[in-house]
Amino acid sequence: MGLACSLATFSCFSFPRTAAADEAGVSFWLPGQYGSFAAVPSGPGWSFESAYYHASADAGRGVSFDRGGAIQAGMKSPSDFVMLTPTYAFKTSMFGAQAAFGTTILYGKNATSVSETLISPAGNILSGSKSDEVLGFGDVYPTASLKWNKDFHNFMVYATTGIPVGAYQLTRLSALGLGHWAVDGGVGYTYLNEKLGIEGSVVFGLTYNFINPYTQYQSGTDAHLDWAISPYFNDKFHIGVVGYFYNQITGDSGTGALLGDFKSRVAAIGPQIGFFIPLFGRETYLNLRAYSEFNARNRLEGWNAFVTFSIEASGQKEHAVANLR
């Protein structure tokens, strides 16, 4: 295989979760974190990825959210994060697949404002605008994956969890952590044909959320699908389309779920562009992509963008790091 068929992969390692569904309009899974080449095995050894993520999301006064034991309406919650993901891909195969493990650590800012607070934790009726901002570290996200390659076809299974150590306080509007544990797992497929100059990827997964011990709120089970189609013109450049679908398949529960089952959904689509760049004897990969959301229900809605820079494993000069987290 040529250069484009030997792309190392980072996209199995989860990013911070923001501006989606579930409690407070925030989900464990970050929609759009998988993109092109998602299921393609990487070269063995250590790889590294850094990424900047921006999300602009809001909901009008007609959409309410249960947040910190109160019902909030008219919410805006822009976020900016820097994420670092070291990854190790094992040389020895497991079940005929390449095994890899990585962990995402994030540092960033979340600013949240609401137009109205309808019910306080004590049951008092309140009103008026309120805003809050937090800067710090978020939850930690370890992920493991197995990837298989057969000619033009690449397959993946992955599993990830969130360790709730990020900035989170019950009494604050803004947070960089969920305040509870969650687990996610799924499957992925990538079709990569150099002769035709086309690539297509799709990743499907399910999230199970544990109860939030601070609020006694348990978010429902979520289903998500990330996809990408990307023609590439040579081994240094490609451009394409990305998108995602997100749907909560079971309702929220617990004594803290003041709004009932509160199922959520959203879809998004947008452009992407990627560059493969040799640097200091290694191949690196720069990716830019953006998503515009639509068809949202019971969640914040807006747009988000990723700028990702990845460095391949040492000694793998024929590999380009092309995971589009």
More confident residue, 86 or 2: 86
Least confident of 198-202, 269-273, 275-279: 275-279
CA-to-CA distance for 267 and 38, rounded, in angstroms? 19
**Per-residue model confidence as pLDDT tens digits over 87-133:** 999 999 999 999 999 999 999 999 887 766 555 445 555 556 778 89
Rg (CA), the chain: 20
pLDDT at 74 over 80: no
**Per-residue model confidence as pLDDT tens digits over 212-262:** 999 898 999 999 999 999 988 777 889 999 999 999 999 999 888 777 677
CA-to-CA distance for 49 and 212, rounded, in angstroms? 30
- Residue 8 DSSP label: B
**Per-residue model confidence as pLDDT tens digits over 5-44:** 333 333 333 333 333 336 766 789 999 989 888 999 988 9
Helix or strand or coil: residue 6? helix
Identify the pLDDT of residue 256: 80
Q: Which residues contact 97 (CB under 8 A, 6 or more apart)?
A: 41, 146, 147, 148
More confident residue, 167 or 73: 167
pLDDT class of 321 with cuts at 50, 70, 90: very low
Identify the pLDDT of residue 19: 31
- Residue 5 DSSP label: G
What is the mean predicted confidence (pLDDT) over 173-177? 87
CATH fold, domain 3-311, is: Lipocalin (2.40.128)
